[in-house]
């Protein structure tokens, strides 16, 4: 090997490790970028933000391009460093040194350093390099389609062999571990983590899990004396009461304290005109479905009944919301505090 070729191989090795550095750095920068920030940058007209968003919406082509470029760069660098070491130290020692030095250089300059930089300055690097990678992807699209087709066939055949339906989604435990790590990294706050965990728990709850049992309900007969009703309001201090007719299993509506006070009901008045609608649901109704139904029907209370229409308990909109956000005091609670 002549000196000119030796120098050329050093230059090529330098170019290839620089390519590996750049590709790895861009990969981490792009996929660590906050999509909301990129959208904001696009709205402000930041150059490269549109290309970055496009690459994120076509992950298969982006990842295949990154793999292709990194493979070419690292393989080419390994070949060059081997040629250089053999030229300097001979075949036996040169091959060993090439393996050791090549591995160290790729680990440091092709993996560790660029990944650290990519994560630290994600959006800034992503928008700078995205237009270049976008052009590369467009220029090698036929090759990428061929690689993607082969990958899909192999992945599907292997996927059928190793597919496990039970592993199709994350378990609750895995999500909680992820949330804990996200809090440690500062991605979410402790309050946000607890809120997400409460929402997860809420999705598993049923009406029977939240309801106030029948024995603890304060109910009012539609024929109850007004004075007696006022005594009940004063004694229990609730804002809403289920109202029944003849039998407690025959709930016909809900009485809101506010309606009683605002309309200044006379002793001889009929409270039936003050009743708000109330819905009846099965005890197995999911809490999130019940919340949706109550919002749709515009009611703040639901009674839980069995298949024989026997009253089991009641749930208020406030009960459902408190399962997520904790105790909420309404205006009546505050007045009577």
**Nearest of 321, 303, 300, 291 to residue 208 by alpha carbon:** 303
Q: Name the more confident of 144 and 129.
A: 129
Structural tokens at position 25: 């750095």
User: Which residues are CB-contacts of 210 (< 8 A; sequence separation ≥ 6)?
Assistant: 287, 315, 319, 320, 323
What are the extents of the domains in the chain? 3-165, 172-204, 207-335
Answer whether 277's CB lies under 8 Å from 256's CB: no
Quote the CA–CA distance of 106 and 85 in Å, as a whole number.
16
The tens digit of pLDDT for each residue in 97-112 reads 999 999 999 999 999 9
Quote the CA–CA distance of 124 and 38 in Å, as a whole number.
10
Measured from the Cβ of residue 49, the count of other Cβ atoms closer than 10 Å reads 23
Which residue shows structure tokens 């409270």?
Answer: 271
pLDDT value at 180 more than 50? yes
Residue by residue, DSSP assigns 36-53 as HHHHHHHHTT-TTHHHHH
**Nearest of 114, 31, 131 to residue 74 by alpha carbon:** 114
**Residue 337 pLDDT grade (very low, low, confident, very high; cuts 50, 70, 90):** very low
Mean pLDDT (whole number) for 41-54:
90
Beta-strand relationship, 301-305 and 311-316:
antiparallel
Quote the CA–CA distance of 108 and 117 in Å, as a whole number.
12
pLDDT of residue 142: 82
DSSP 167: G
Mean pLDDT (whole number) for 152-160:
67
Q: Name the more confident of 330 and 132.
A: 132
pLDDT of residue 335: 40
Adjacent-strand bridge partners of 315: 302
Mean pLDDT (whole number) for 137-144:
84
Quote the CA–CA distance of 200 and 198 in Å, as a whole number.
5
Decide: helix, strand or coil at residue 140: coil
* Whole-Å CA distances, 304 to 32, 183, 314: 47, 38, 5
Answer whether 27's CB lies under 8 Å from 119's CB: no
CATH T-level topology, domain 207-335 = CBS-domain (3.10.580)
Answer whether 255's CB lies under 8 Å from 233's CB: no
pLDDT of residue 227: 83
Lowest mean pLDDT among 11-20, 82-91, 117-126, 268-277: 268-277
CA atoms within 13 A on the CB side of 272: 8
The tens digit of pLDDT for each residue in 280-291 reads 999 999 998 998
pLDDT value at 253 more than 50? yes
* Whole-Å CA distances, 263 to 225, 256, 274: 16, 11, 9
The mean predicted confidence, pLDDT, of the chain is 84
> By percentage, how much of the chain surpasses pLDDT 90?
37
Mean pLDDT (whole number) for 259-274:
71
Lowest mean pLDDT among 24-33, 177-186, 225-234: 177-186
pLDDT of residue 109: 93
pLDDT of residue 201: 85
Structural tokens at position 53: 């968003």
Lowest mean pLDDT among 71-75, 212-216, 279-283, 331-335: 331-335
């Amino acid at each position: 090997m002549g000196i000119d070729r030796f120098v050329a191989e050093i230059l090529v090795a330098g170019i290839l490790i620089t390519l590996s550095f750049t590709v790895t750095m861009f990969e981490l920068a792009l996929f660590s970028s906050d999509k909301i920030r990129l959208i904001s940058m696009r709205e402000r007209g930041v150059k490269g933000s549109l290309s970055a968003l496009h690459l994120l919406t076509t992950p298969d082509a982006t990842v295949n391009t990154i793999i292709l470029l990194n493979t070419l760069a690292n393989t080419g660098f390994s070949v060059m460093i081997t040629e250089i070491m053999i030229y300097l130290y001979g075949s036996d020692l040169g091959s060993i040194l090439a393996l050791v030095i090549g591995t160290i250089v790729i680990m440091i300059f092709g993996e560790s350093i660029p990944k650290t930089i990519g994560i630290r300055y994600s959006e800034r690097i992503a928008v700078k390099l995205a237009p270049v990678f976008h052009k590369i992807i467009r220029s090698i699209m036929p090759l990428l389609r061929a690689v993607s087709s082969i990958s899909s066939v192999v992945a599907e055949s292997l996927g059928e062999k190793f597919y496990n339906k039970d592993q199709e989604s994350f378990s609750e435990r895995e999500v909680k571990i992820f949330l804990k790590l996200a809090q440690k990294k500062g991605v979410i706050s402790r309050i946000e983590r607890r809120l997400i965990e409460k929402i997860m728990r809420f999705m598993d709850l049923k009406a029977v899990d939240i309801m106030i049992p029948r024995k603890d309900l304060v109910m009012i007969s539609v024929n109850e004396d007004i004075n007696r009703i006022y005594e009940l309001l004063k004694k229990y201090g609730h804002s809403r009461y289920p109202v029944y007719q003849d039998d407690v299993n025959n709930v016909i509506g809900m009485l809101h304290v506010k309606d009683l006070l605002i309309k200044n009901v006379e002793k001889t008045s009929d409270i039936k005109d003050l009743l708000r609608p109330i819905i009846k649901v099965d005890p197995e109704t999911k809490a999130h479905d019940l919340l949706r139904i109550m919002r749709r029907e515009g009611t703040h209370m639901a009674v839980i009944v069995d298949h024989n229409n026997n009253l089991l308990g009641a749930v208020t909109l406030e009960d459902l919301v408190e399962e997520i956000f904790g105790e909420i005091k309404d205006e009546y609670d505050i007045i009577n505090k």
